[in-house]
């Protein structure tokens, strides 16, 4: 149990996928204009990464390893992720149309979100079992959701600030994300 808690805290805060590893920056910067949209993206990413971690771990352990096909892991993981994202996209289109429309092009980009693939490959690289993989995936996704929601909240507040012209738009967002990354470095002292 202690190991799982350490994996969860380490993945969510200390090694935050966006702010420490710089994976998944496209949706992080693109969908963080409004908190509502960022929350929706965070929820979708939590679902996809958690389920992808589970399915990838099961496939790797029970199919690829016994058949000595570990070299196919990247291709197999990409296919698993693409299928899960298609499922999420169909679900949102049918049941939460407003969120589906607000996410726009960024929803299919979860498929190419390197954070999702990065978690699956990290699980294999660290030799995590199935439960450890799921915990790592869930915690990593929660860390992504926390980071994108914080950035969205800051961007909503900055909308009404007097920002010098050269820094308006993406430059101030990049500066803010950089300051968030520095702040998250403070969590490194936890371990």
Tens of pLDDT, residue by residue over 115-132, are 899 999 999 999 999 999
Of residues 148, 174, 176, 170, the one with CA closest to residue 40 = 148
Average pLDDT over residues 82-101: 87
Determine how many CB atoms are found less than 10 A away from the CB of residue 47: 18
DSSP string, 45-66: HHHHHHHHHHHHHHHIIIIITT
Q: In the structure, what pLDDT confidence band is assigned to residue 183 with cuts at 50, 70 and 90?
A: very high
pTM of the model: 0.90
Burial readout 2-14 (b: 16 or more C-beta within 10 A, e: otherwise): eeeeebbbbbbbb
Residue 8 binned pLDDT confidence (cut-offs 50, 70, 90): very high
What is the 8-class DSSP label of residue 14?
Answer: I
d(CA 165, CA 50): 41
């Amino acid at each position: 149990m202690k190991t799982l808690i350490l994996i969860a805290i380490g993945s969510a805060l200390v090694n935050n996928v966006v702010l420490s590893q710089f994976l998944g920056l496209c949706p992080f910067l693109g969908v963080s204009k409004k908190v509502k949209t960022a929350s929706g993206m965070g929820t979708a990413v939590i679902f996809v990464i958690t389920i992808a971690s589970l399915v990838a771990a099961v496939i790797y352990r029970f199919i690829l390893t016994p058949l000595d096909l570990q070299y196919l892991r990247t291709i197999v993981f990409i296919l698993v992720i693409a299928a899960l994202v298609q499922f999420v996209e169909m679900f949102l289109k049918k049941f939460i149309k407003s969120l589906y429309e607000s996410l726009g092009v960024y929803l299919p980009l979860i498929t190419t979100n390197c954070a999702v693939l990065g978690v699956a490959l990290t699980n294999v690289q660290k030799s995590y079992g199935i439960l450890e993989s799921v915990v790592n995936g869930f915690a990593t996704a929660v860390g992504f959701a926390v980071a994108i929601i914080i950035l969205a909240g800051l961007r909503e507040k900055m909308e009404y600030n007097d920002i010098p012209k050269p820094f308006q738009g993406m430059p101030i967002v990049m500066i803010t994300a950089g300051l968030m990354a520095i702040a998250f470095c403070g969590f490194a002292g936890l371990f």
